[in-house]
Structure 1
Amino acid sequence: MTRSLTADELVNATTEELSTYLRSGTLNTHALAQSLDYEGLDINDWERIKRIHFCLTERVRDFVTALPDRVRRIKTEHQREHIDTQGEVRGSINWSATLRTRSETGYADRSRFVCNTPYTEYDIPENRVLKRLLWEIYRTVTNELEAVEYDWRREYWTDDQMAQFNRLYNQNVHLNRIRDGQTISVSGQDMNTARRSRLGIYTDAYALYDTYQRLQADTFDSDITDLLAETLIVPNTTPTLFELFCCFRVIRLLNRYTSGFSLQPIDGQNNALAHLESSDARIEIHHDSTGKLSIHEPLDPTDRPTHPLFARYADALTDYSNSLETLTGDSNDLVLYSGRPDLVIEVYDTTSNDQLVALLLGEVKYSGAEQTFKQGLEELLMYRRFADHDGYLIDDPAVTVTNLLITNGFTTGGTSDTVTHLNGTDLLTPSSDHQHLPDWIRPLVGPIWNRPVTSES
Structure 2
Amino acid sequence: MTRSLAVEELVNATSEELGTYLRSGALNTNALTRSLDYEGLDIEDWERIKRIHFCLADDVHDFISALPDRVRRIKTEHQRENIHTQGEVRGSINWSGTLRTRSETGYADRSRFVCNTPYTEYDIAENRVLKRLLWQIHHTVADELQSVEYDWRHDFWTDNQLASFDRLYKQNVHLNRIKDGPTISISGQDMTTARQSRLPLYTEAYDLYDTFQRLQADTLDPDITELLADTLVVPSDTPTLFELFCCFRLIRILNRYSPGFSLKPIDGESSALAHLESDDTRIEIHHNSTGNLSFHEPLDATRRPAHSQYARYHDVLIDYSNTLESLTGNPHDSVLYSGRPDIIIESYDTTSDEQLVSVLLGEVKHSDATQTFKQGLEELLTYRRFANNNGYLIDDPEVSLTSLLITNGLTTPGTSDDVIHLNGTDLLDTAKQQHSDWILPSLRPPIIPEQA
TM-score normalised to structure 1 length: 0.93
- Tell me, yes or no, if the aligned pair for 1:38 and 1:234 is still in contact at 8 Å: no
Match in the other structure for 2:443? 445
CA distance in 2, matches of 1:228, 1:236: 13
Choose which of 436, 449, 452 in structure 2 pairs with 1:455: 449
What secondary structure, in the 3-state scheme, does the structure 2 residue paired with 1:263 have? strand
Q: Does the Cα contact within 8 Å between 1:197 and 1:203 map onto a contact in 2? A: yes
1:288–1:406 Cα change, 3 Å: same
Unaligned runs of 5+ in 1: none
Partner of 1:281: 281
CA distance 1:139–1:268, shift in 2 (3 Å): farther
Q: Percent identity?
A: 74
Moved more, 94-103 or 417-426: 94-103
User: CA 1:372–1:99 in structure 2 vs 1: closer, same or farther (change >3 Å)?
Assistant: same
Once the two structures are overlaid, the 10-residue window that deviates more, 43-52 or 277-286, is 43-52
Is 288-297 or 89-98 further displaced after alignment? 89-98
Conserved in 1, the CA contact under 8 Å of 2:36 and 2:236? no
Deviations 1:385-416 (A, max 9, x none): 11111111111111111111111122212111
The verdict on how the C-alpha distance between 1:235 and 1:337 changes in structure 2, with shifts beyond 3 A counting, is same
How many aligned positions are there?
451
1:259, 1:454 within 8 Å by CA — same for their partners in 2? no
State whether residues 364 and 406 of structure 1, in contact with CA within 8 Å, keep that contact through their aligned partners in structure 2: yes
1:68-95 CA-to-partner distances (Å, cap 9, x unmatched) read 1100111111222222333333222323
What is the TM-score of this pair, normalised by structure 2?
0.94
* Residues 360 and 440, structure 2, Cα contact 8 Å, conserved in 1: no
Residues in 2 aligned to 1:319 and 1:453: alpha-carbon distance in whole angstroms: 51
- 1:242: how far off? 0.4
Task: Quote the Cα distance in structure 2 between the aligned partners of 1:230 and 1:358.
Answer: 35
**What displacement does 1:226 show?**
2.0
CA RMSD, aligned part only? 2.0
CA shift, 1:324, in A, is 2.3
For residues 73-129 of structure 1, the C-alpha deviation after alignment (integer angstroms, 9 at most, x for no partner) is 111112222223333332223233333333333434333333222221111110011
Mean Cα deviation higher: 198-207 or 30-39: 30-39
Q: Deviations along 1:237-270, whole A, 9 cap, x unmatched?
A: 1000000010001001101221111011123621
Q: Shift in Å at residue 425 of structure 1?
A: 0.7
Is the 1:404–1:440 Cα contact (8 Å) retained in structure 2? no
1:7-59 Cα offsets, whole Å, 9 max, x none, are 22211111111111111111112211111112222223222122222212221
Secondary structure, counterpart of 2:436 in structure 1:
coil
Give the AA of the match of 2:105. T
Contact 1:257-1:437 at 8 Å conserved across structures: no
Residues 258 and 446, structure 1, Cα contact 8 Å, conserved in 2: no
- Match of residue 350 from structure 2: 350
What is the match of residue 436 of structure 1?
434
**Could you tell me which residue of structure 1 aligns to residue 133 of structure 2?**
133
Give the whole-Å Cα distance in 2 for the aligned partners of 1:266 and 1:246: 20
> Paired residue for 1:313?
313
* Secondary structure of 1:153's aligned partner: helix
Q: Is the 8 A contact 1:385 1:392 kept in 2?
A: yes
Residues 236/199 of structure 1: CA separation in 2 closer, same or farther (3 Å cut): closer
**415-424 vs 84-93, which moves further:** 84-93
Task: Look up the match of 1:232.
Answer: 232
The equivalences for 1:377-416 within 5 A come to: 377-416=377-416
Secondary structure at the aligned position of 2:53 is classed as helix
Q: State the distance in 2 between where 1:331 and 1:297 align.
A: 17
Q: Which amino acid aligns with 1:130?
A: L
Post-superposition shift, 1:306? 5.0
Distance 1:259 1:407 in 2: 28
CA offset at residue 298 of structure 1?
Answer: 1.7
Q: Which residue of 2 aligns with 1:88?
A: 88
Cα distance in 2 between the residues matched to 1:121 and 1:218: 35
Distance 1:412-1:434 versus aligned 2 partners, 3 A rule: closer
Partner of 1:182: 182
Tell me the amino acid that sits aligned with residue 426 of structure 2: D
Q: Following superposition, which runs of at least 4 residues in structure 1 exceed 6 angstroms of deviation? A: none
Q: Is the 8 A contact 1:77 1:120 kept in 2?
A: yes
Secondary structure of the 1:246 match is: helix
What code does the residue aligned with 2:76 have? Answer: T
Unmatched tracts of structure 2, length 5 or more: none
C-alpha deviation, 1:157, in angstroms: 1.4
Residue of structure 2 equivalent to 1:207: 207
AA partner of residue 398 (structure 1): E
Is 1:265 aligned to 2:265, yes or no?
A: yes
- Alignment partners' CA distance in 1, 2:189 and 2:297: 59
Say if 1:212 and 1:268 are closer, same or farther in 2 by CA, change over 3 A: farther
1:43 aligned residue: 43
Q: AA paired with 2:449?
A: S
Whole-Å Cα distance in 2 between the matches of residues 312 and 434 of structure 1?
47
Offset from partner CA, 1:327-365 (integer Å, 9 cap, x none): 233443322111111110010111122111111100000
- Give the distance between the partners of 1:442 and 1:317, measured in 2 at CA: 36
After superposition, the Cα gap between the structure-2 partners of 1:91 and 1:331, relative to the gap in structure 1 and judged at 3 Å, is farther
After TM superposition, list the pairs within 5 Å mapping 1:12-31 onto structure 2: 12-31=12-31
**After superposition, what is the alpha-carbon deviation per residue over 1:129-171, rounded to whole angstroms, capped at 9, x for unaligned?**
1011111111121111111112222222111111111100000
- Deviation string 1:293-346 (CA, Å, 9 cap, x unpaired) is 111112244555555444433332333233223323344332211111111001
Residues 311 and 102 (structure 1), Cα distance of their counterparts in 2 relative to 1, 3 Å cut:
farther
Q: Is the 8 A contact 2:437 2:443 kept in 1?
A: no
Query: Counterpart of 1:131 in structure 2: which amino acid?
Result: K
Any idea what SS the aligned residue of 1:269 has?
coil
Structure 2 CA distance, aligned partners of 1:235 and 1:83? 56
